Amino acid sequence: MTVPPGRAPAAPASSVPGIGGPVPARADGVELIGELKGSGYRDAPALVRRADGQTLQLTPLLYSVLSAVDGRSSVSEIADRVSRGSGRRVTAENVRTLMDSKLLPLGLIARADGSQPEVRRSNPLLSLRFRYTVTDKQKTRRLTGPFAALFRPWIVVPLVAAFLFVSWWVLAEKGLASATYQAFDSPGLLLLVVAVTVFSAGFHEFGHAAGARYGGATPGAMGAGLYLFWPAFYTDVTDSYRLGRAGRVRTDLGGLYFNAMVTVLIAGIWWATQYDALLLVVLTQILQMIRQLTPLVRFDGYHVLADVTGVPDLYHRIRPTLLGLLPWRWGHPETKALKPWARAVVTLWVLIVVPVLLGSLALMVITLPRVLATAWASTVRREGALAAAVDTGDLLGAGAQAVMILAAALPVLGMGLILFRMVTRGARSVWQKTRGRPGRRASAVIAGVALVAVLATLWWPNGSTYRPIRPYERGTVADVLAARAPVTDRLVQGQEGRVAAIWPQGVAKPTADKPQLAMVLVPRTGQAPAPGNASGPAPAPAPAWVFPFSKPSPPGDGGNQALAVNTKDGSVVYDVAFAMVWVQDGSALNVNEADAFASCRDCAAVAVAFQVVLLVGQVHAVVPQNLAVAANYNCTQCLAYAVANQLVLTLDQPLSPAGLAQLSTLWNDINAFQATIQDQPLTQIQARLNQYAGQIRQIIQQDPSTTHQAPSSAPATTEPAGPSGAPTVNAPTPGASVPDTVTTPSAPGAGAPAAPASEAPAQTAAPGSTDAPPSPAPAETAMPLPTASPS
């Protein structure tokens, strides 16, 4: 990362002594950088740098006054020089006022007695902490000077092309599975990957310094510190503001360019050694580059945006930009300080970064207890592994465990530091601003107490507040917010809720730490209650699978299933599944299944499954299944109705285009019927399905590709009757060709299977109330025998 310029807060004129004396002088170490080239301001500011490294923006008039202060000229001479340079009259009194009220509080000119002014360095919240300088300005120049030649175009172009190729090859062709396994299987290789990654982060800063040197600027000190909650290296490239926009952007992207060089170098080493673990370094470089391009915090992407727009410190524009959105502030000078295009870009950036930072802060506060618990659990676990590695003399393993412990501890320490600084800075600022205003101070104290109460509520220890994060958790924003929502008495996707479940006796129950897979059935949204029951009592907690038998398995390949489950009083649940399947030169093991289950009062569950299976060519095994199950449990005045209709036809060859067109038109009509099936009387559903099945047979029978086939008989259907009051419909598979006989279904109540005579299925209907929970009785189905297609 690079060190950005900032602003020192101006002290009131009355709080500092005047410069007095006839000959003003600059403070020691003050360096004039000059006007910002390519500025996004209407009046381009000028930059100066103090001895402590703080860079300040000055208006053109202030910069002219400071430029004229040379330690030899009097105030009158400075006024004359500024008047000639600015083209307007500036008096000695004007110069003295600017020095006393502006330049001296900023620490840019010496006091009257020659002593240096007291300065206070700007200390932004999102800035580098705990800086440790490794090289001074002179050493940085010597170390990074040879690398400046790498920015020549004839070197940049092939290196960038090689980086793009290596990235594509590793991510799209080679993959990282073997690299990950090899690295974590060998602690030595894992430590090597970590070491190279840390080295590349330092080498990244060489890119910034070399980019500045190539453009003609002088890089400053290099070192390390803590940014947010991660270690970071830094390079002072403030002098790059002497360059134009292109030179500044080159400096900003120089670090990413050196990351690309490391990627290409690692790919070459892998080619020579074939150690797949090295390819993880390629991934770490790509991830580091993506992170650096983020413009939300002070990474390289932030500085690129600042230099492209010509606004050195974007964070100082957040408050003026937000205030400038208010209609009564549109004409304010501070709002119009930027050029129109720069103001549009900065406004868009502010509207993105402010919600993101506030949301990140809220998530950090909410998840802090679980992060603490996770870090503690990881540290305890790694501590045991570290002790074992030390006892066995495995220094590489001990080093790997130490790195993991450090990685777990740093985020917690960083989050704690950020929250501590926010609280202390906020409290100090509010206390100073409410001095002498008891009413506002009382309001601030009340707000502080309310904030403490909210934090206590979020962080108060209970059963799950300080629970470590588990591998099975998704960790989405919705999950974090749902974790703080009250537990409801019904099941809602993404939230915790209470549910009544049946669990076998003697079997260990699942816990949050040791969960088990379970199927939870939740009523579908939009289901209309039965007439006359719209204003009933509040429903009980939504149950899980309450039936004393296993839930039907999901459909397999080529299968079709309609599953209607109703556990809500006074409601109707429909599930309809229509499908057409083509089987060519294989096996026809298609299953068509309709299941209707009810456990409620004054309710209904209706399942309709209609499947057409067309066999083309040499299909050697034809074993379709047509199943319909209707059952109720603890049910009063309920209806469970299941209809399963399966039509299986054999073709020697594909249909003609005309036949396909007719079949497509008919299937569109069938889909339209499916969409309105809830409006159809239950007694007419089977008749309509039989009608569609007959039309499909007629289309196929009349198609030129099948006119040579000889008709044959079809197996018959059965008419089971069950206590659940659910009719079941079964259409077995025709033999080997299209049948030419059709019969109507037999009357309800027949229980014995009929002889193979027709294609039409039969149905039964016995809806009514039940007083005791019957066991489910699946309908009998006539099992057709597979027959060979004529050759």
Longest dimension (CA), the chain: 124
Is the confidence at residue 487, as pLDDT, over 90?
A: no
Contact by Cβ (8 Å): 260, 224: no
Is the confidence at residue 164, as pLDDT, over 90?
A: yes
Contact by Cβ (8 Å): 527, 573: yes
Is the confidence at residue 419, as pLDDT, over 60?
A: yes
Determine the pLDDT at residue 782. Answer: 32
Determine the pLDDT at residue 789. Answer: 34
Determine the pLDDT at residue 226. Answer: 76
* Residue 232 in tokens: 């970071």
Alpha carbon distances (Å) from 605 to 492, 542, 562, 602: 22, 16, 11, 11
Is the confidence at residue 17, as pLDDT, over 60?
A: no
Would you place residue 713 in the very low, low, confident or very high pLDDT band (cuts 50, 70, 90)? very low
CB burial of residue 245 (10 Å; 0-12, 13-18, 19+): middle
Would you place residue 726 in the very low, low, confident or very high pLDDT band (cuts 50, 70, 90)? very low
Q: DSSP letters along 323-372, please?
A: HHTSGGGTT-TTTTSB-HHHHHHHHHHHHHHHHHHHHHHHHHHHHHHHHH
Determine the pLDDT at residue 741. Answer: 31
Is the confidence at residue 761, as pLDDT, over 60?
A: no
Q: How many residues does the chain have?
A: 791
Determine the pLDDT at residue 2. Answer: 52
Torsion of CA 317, 320, 326, 329, to 10 degrees: -140
Determine the pLDDT at residue 320. Answer: 87
What is the distance between the alpha carbons of residues 497 and 393, in angstroms, rounded to a whole number?
Answer: 50
Determine the pLDDT at residue 561. Answer: 92
Determine the pLDDT at residue 492. Answer: 56
Question: What's the whole-number average pLDDT of the chain?
Answer: 75
Of 187-196, 389-398, 421-430, which range is least confident? 187-196
Of 74-78, 246-250, 471-475, 631-635, which range is least confident? 471-475
Is the confidence at residue 10, as pLDDT, over 60?
A: no
- Mean pLDDT score, 120-148: 79
Contact by Cβ (8 Å): 88, 7: no
Is the confidence at residue 470, as pLDDT, over 80?
A: no
- Mean pLDDT score, 576-597: 88
Would you place residue 192 in the very low, low, confident or very high pLDDT band (cuts 50, 70, 90)? confident
Determine the pLDDT at residue 757. Answer: 31
User: What is the percentage of the chain residues whose pLDDT exceeds 90?
Assistant: 7
Helix or strand (DSSP H, E) at 92: helix 92-98
* Residue 780 in tokens: 């009998």
Q: What is the pLDDT of residues 495-532, one digit of tens each?
A: 555 666 666 667 777 766 666 666 666 555 554 444 44
* Residue 310 in tokens: 């010509």
What is the distance between the alpha carbons of residues 622 and 504, in angstroms, rounded to a whole number?
Answer: 39
Determine the pLDDT at residue 218. Answer: 85
pTM: 0.54
- Mean pLDDT score, 191-211: 84
Q: What is the pLDDT of residues 491-504, one digit of tens each?
A: 555 555 566 666 66
- Mean pLDDT score, 270-288: 83
Amino acid at 334: E
Contact by Cβ (8 Å): 247, 310: no
Of 281-285, 358-362, 539-543, 566-570, which range is least confident? 539-543
Please choose, from the candidates 409, 412, 405, the residue with its C-alpha nearest in 3D space to the C-alpha of residue 381.
Answer: 405
* Residue 579 in tokens: 């499908």
What is the distance between the alpha carbons of residues 389 and 406, in angstroms, rounded to a whole number?
Answer: 16
Helix or strand (DSSP H, E) at 598: strand 591-598
* Residue 264 in tokens: 């290409």
